[in-house]
Structures are given as C-alpha cells and as structure tokens.
Structure 1
Amino acid sequence: MFLKQAAEFFERFFRFGGTVPMVLKLLGDDESMEWLVKSLKERLEVNPFEQTVEEQLSAMRKQNAEGNWGISEETLAKLAESAPAWPKGRDAYRSFRIRFGEGNDGVAQTFEAHAAAMKRVHGEKLWRWELLHSGKVPYKGKDVERLKLHAGNHTHHAVVEWIIVNDLSANRKRKDVTSVRGPKSLADEGIVLAWLFPKRVQAIDYDTWCAWFCGGYESNVPEDGDEEWQGVVIVFRDTASGGVLLGARWRGNDDPDYSVPPLG
C-alpha cells in the first residue's frame, strides 16, 4: 500500500512541476523539509468556511431586517470596528452572540429568533423536531418549562457581540454530553453558527465534518420520558436527504458523530 501511495505522490509531484533536484534538496536539507512540512500543516488547518468581516456583517444585516430584530446601525458599526482576527484552526470560527430580552422570556425569544433565521437560510431543507419547544408549553394540563440555559436563565441578557469558537469539533470523544459540558458550552451561539455558516452545516458527513450539540441548552421533553431536562439541543443533518435538522438528543449521548464545543 505504501509503495503505491509513494508512486502516486511522485507522479503528482512531477506533474505539478516538481523536479529531481527539488527532491534531492528536500532529502539533503533539513530546513527545506521543515518548511515543506510546516507549510502543509498550515494548509491542512485552514478553515474552508472562513468568512470576511464584511460577509458576516452582511449576513447579520439580512437577518436583522428579515427578522425585525432591531439591531441598530450604530451597533453594527461598532462590530465592524471591533472584529477580532479569524482564529486559527481547521474548524475554528469567528461568530456572534445575539441575545434578545432578559431571563426566562429572553431565553425563549432568542432561541425562536435564531431558529427562524435557520429556517430563512436553509428553507425547506430545515426540519425542527416538533417536541423541541422554548418557554412554557402545556403538558397534562400544566404549563411546563421546555428550555433553559445550562448556566441558568438569570445569565441571559440582551447583547450583540463577537465570539470565538476555537474548535467546533471539540469533545467528539467523550463519556457523555454531561461530562464535557459547562458554562462555556455553546447555546444560542450554536444556532447562530447554523445560519451564519450554512455551508458548514451542509458539509456534515459525520466523518470529516461533525454535527454539534448546543450543550449550553437543556431541553425538557416530558412527552419523551418521565425524567426532566434530559435533552440537549443539537444541529445535525440527514446525509441521505440533505435535510438540516434542529432537535434534541439525550444528555448521555457518547456518539462521536456529534461534538460538544465550547466558546473560546
């Protein structure tokens, strides 16, 4: 197998302009070999979904207008001036935290705003699990809370700011979601990624590109079991149909097809 791969490597190397003197230079010069390996590593770590600040602000403006979010031009101008550099890493992102309202009501308002943005961006490809609710929804004659922040709804405040996700593929190997989630786990930020980077969602193949849990959210689905707050919001994809899905899975999930990424 190795000999076949080596033969293919040199065939391609020479086809793209490589020469025997170049090969001899690499074999006899450690600095040249170090440069080649370093260059390849940097190339492999480039995120193919990287966006410019202008592209990101344009996407936000579009959702702001279509969703009637009420984000001012002054706020957008401040974002343009304060944008951090794009982070290094194959699955690293510069993105936004966009939250509306305060406390319990704010959590629901923010979730629904970004779920609606996902729908506008992904269109008919988006399917939202019918039991994934925000706010209070009746169950057996009682109004039951359905969604909360893992960090506590009291931490939810209206804000529009930049965030960094250093590795959207983090924590694919784990005992369960509970063991790796924490105060920095993505919540609404994970849904923002889904509408801001639609090509990343469409690339989900559960191998090179994983789906992701929004571990900063806890979902309560009494229709799906007796114990409360067992669900975790997830962004995933049906590879057969190409459909984009917004749902919830059990917090004990250990499937490496899904990550549990944190902020920063």
Structure 2
Amino acid sequence: MAAPDTSAALEPATQAPALLPASAGGGVPVHVGIIMDGNRRWAQARGLPRALGHKAGAEAARRTIEAAADSGIRWLTLFAFSSENWNRPEEEVRDLTGLLGLYLRHEVGQLVKNGVRLRVIGDRKRFGPDIAEAIITAETRTAGGTRLNLNVALSYGARAEIVAATRAIAADVAAGTLRLEDVTEALVSSRLSTAGMPDPDLVIRASGEQRLSNFLLWQAAYAEFTFPDVLWPDFGAEHLRAALAEYAGRERRFGLRSG
C-alpha cells in the first residue's frame, strides 16, 4: 500500500470547553494516553491468526475504558491505528478496519450507558464513508457523556498533526490574519487535533517496548511514562492500577528543580 500522506490535515477536535474539570486529586492523572501494542505477538505466541489478536485487543480496550472511569481518570486517549499502520499487509488492514467498524457500531450503547464521551482524532477520511459515518454517529450519540472523555487515535501520526498545524498557522500569517509574534505554544496547541483537551499526564505503552511511535509528541512533552511488560490483549484493570500507583510516586517538576 502507498505510504501515508503526511501532509493531510488532521481534523481538530471541536474546541468546546472541557466537559470535566482538568484537575484530579490523590495522585490520579487527569489524562492518560495508552499505546496499545502487542496484539500480533499475542496471537503469534498462541498460534492464532492476527485477526484474533486484534479482537482480543479490542476486549482489552473495553476493560481498560471501564477501569479508567472507575479510577477517576477524566481523559483517556487510546492509540488504536497509526498512520503507519496503513503499510501493513492488506489482509491485516482489512481485519483492523473491519473490527473498528464493528466496535463503533456495537459498543456505542455501552459507552452511553457508562457516561463515556467518544471523540476520534486523526485522519478519519482515509477509512472511507462507512466508517467515517459510524464515527460521526458514535460521537453524536455519546456527546452527553460526563464520566470519562475517551479519545481514540485513528490513522493518527503526531508528526503529520504538527505539520498540519504549522501549515495552517503559516497560511494565516501569510494572509495577514495572524502576526508572527502571536505564534505561541498555546496557539500551536490550539491548532492540534487535541485542541481543548489537557495534555496527558501519563503515557502507558503495553508490551514492554519503550518508544512513543509517533504518538502525541507535542502533547506528551512533560508526561510521565510507564512500560508494563504485558502484551496489550492481556492488559487489564490490575495493570492500569499498577501504572497509576507508579505515577502517584513520581515527582513531576515540568523542567524545574525539586524543593
């Protein structure tokens, strides 16, 4: 398949006020980002088709969403499909996108019941009209959720996101509608697909791999990181609790000295 077009503009989230307060006490992070890694290795270790690994990964996502809401996390961002994933074998891409369509259609009722508001970040247009419509329907139906803000990153790449924001700002400067001195970190943040959301406090990558893989590069500048050595389909509430406990013991200094 063709390499992803990194110049494609990523659609920013609606810049509405945050539904939930951007604060949390007791050491609970406000916003947690999770890189859901290890579905293929999980399936391979069991002699199963990759599609069953991705299905098991979807079950882990369901468990984690419920555990996050129970833990008092206000925002959860799941990295479900990267812009680079389009380069995987055609059959696997078809399985992934098919599973995504099923999830969007069948899980919305449970999200509404649990008070979860869903938003998708990334280049959703690449999935075609059926999935694009399912995304809009899911976002609309869950818009009233106030217990947890769930962001799902689909066809998402942080570098493309930053490039799109930079181009939009440059166009405004060239048009004379924005002064160069008005270009600030806050302005750049407002042009990203996560506009209106708090930056992640904690990023978790399942499977033990220790890299960001083009996930929230701008937003995670001061995030804490944990790398549990568990493949994503085996990830559950106990692993989330362990990551939160580790986070609670960290001292966040945001570039400043302690004390």
Considering the TM-score relative to the shorter chain, is it more than 0.5?
no
Higher strand share: 1
TM-score, with length taken from structure 1: 0.23
TM-score, with length taken from structure 2: 0.24
Bigger relative CO (Cα 8 Å, ≥ 6 apart): 2
